[in-house]
Structure 1
Amino acid sequence: MSANEIYLRPAQETDAWALSAIHITAIKALPATFYTEKELLAWRNYREKPDGSNILKSMKVENFWVAVKGDIITGFASFIIDELIGLYVHPHYQGQGIGRALVQHFCNEAAAQDIDKVITTASLYAEGFYLRLGFTAIKKVPHQLRRQIFVPVTKMSKLLNQ
């Protein structure tokens, strides 16, 4: 495998800090076009610095997969059976097919369990990305962040094995 190749592997507990760093960095890189600065701050759990504790809690119930380039974790996805819960790629590595590979892996895992449709809740920033991957927008819904802050998101679905 070359240093520029991306590969996917299950996340390990020791990855939690890096996943938290990617989560924070990816949200910090977003412009305040769809959501306000206050909403973006709530989305990253009011953190300026990585803290893997929330991710470690989520690892107990969600499947986490990481994308690795060389020895650097570049992105991750978390899912439960037929629902993609989270997808984040470090801004430095966006546009290189990492998010696409993670979503495809999620879809393959679901299809292997004879699931014919998957769902996700996309931020307004990510809606176009999912549409390009064959997802269909179902409806806009409110999503609760910390401290009773609600933001609009899009429920989306994709039929598998077509």
Structure 2
Amino acid sequence: MSNQKIFLRLAEETDAWVMSAIHIAAIKALPTTFYTRKQLLAWRNYRNKPDGKNILQNMQAEIFWVAVEKHNLAGFASFMVDELIALYVHPYYQGKGIGRALVTHFSHEAANQGVDKVITTASLYAEGFYSRLGFTAIKRTPHQLRTGIVVPVTKMSKILTPA
């Protein structure tokens, strides 16, 4: 990570709006290299403005952690036991090790629960990132977004060392 102090904490319900804004900003910053504009728009639920309702709903089942720098949320991850469900870092904070820190935290949490292998569904943009963190591609598969649009993704897994 950079020289800036970044720490991780459990997300709170009051973070949902900002996490929605991070989700939108991260997707808006992506080029149309792997997905069309229509697919990218669907991925952010056709939103240009944050709406934390979906995140609040997901917080009922998933564990959310946020990365904080100087009282500002920089990114977040959500997971359930052995599956990393979402990982987003605001474009302003990308390249500072925040995504790596969130994935490492998820892996440690899983290992502490006795999990020996974790999985994630990576966008084609994130496949290389996860590979650098020790994940292995299982297979490329279609993934249906909430909006009904289908995008190609890569199922990936990582073997954990016992905690």
TM-score of the two chains, using structure 1 as the length reference: 0.97
- Cα drift, residue 145 of structure 1: 1.2
Native 8 Å contact 2:45 2:147 kept in 1: no
Q: How does 1:16-95 map to 2 (within 5 A)?
A: 16-95=16-95
Per-residue CA deviations over 1:93-147 (Å, capped at 9, x if unaligned) read: 0000000000000000000000000000000000000000000000001000134
The one-letter code sitting in structure 2 at the alignment partner of 1:148 is G
Structure 1 segments, 4+ long, off by >3 Å, are none
> What is the count of residue pairs matched by the alignment?
160
The one-letter code sitting in structure 1 at the alignment partner of 2:73 is I
Identity of aligned residues (%): 72
- Equivalence for 1:15: 15
The one-letter code sitting in structure 1 at the alignment partner of 2:35 is Y
- Equivalence for 1:120: 120
Native 8 Å contact 2:27 2:40 kept in 1: yes
- Cα drift, residue 161 of structure 1: 0.3
The one-letter code sitting in structure 2 at the alignment partner of 1:15 is D
With 138-147 and 123-132 compared, the bigger mean Cα shift is at 138-147
- Cα drift, residue 12 of structure 1: 0.1
- Cα drift, residue 149 of structure 1: 1.1
C-alpha separation in 2, matches of 1:108 and 1:146: 29
- The unaligned stretches of length 5 or more in structure 2 are none
- Cα drift, residue 4 of structure 1: 1.8
TM-score of the two chains, using structure 2 as the length reference: 0.96
C-alpha separation in 1, matches of 2:77 and 2:127: 16
Q: In the alignment, does 2:143 pair up with 1:152?
A: no
With 145-154 and 50-59 compared, the bigger mean Cα shift is at 145-154
SS for the counterpart of 1:146 is: coil
C-alpha separation in 2, matches of 1:149 and 1:105: 31
C-alpha separation in 1, matches of 2:93 and 2:147: 31
**Shift in alpha-carbon separation, 1:75–1:147, aligned structure 2, 3 A:** closer
SS for the counterpart of 2:121 is: strand
The one-letter code sitting in structure 2 at the alignment partner of 1:83 is E
CA-based RMSD of the aligned residues comes to 1.0
C-alpha separation in 2, matches of 1:84 and 1:157: 10
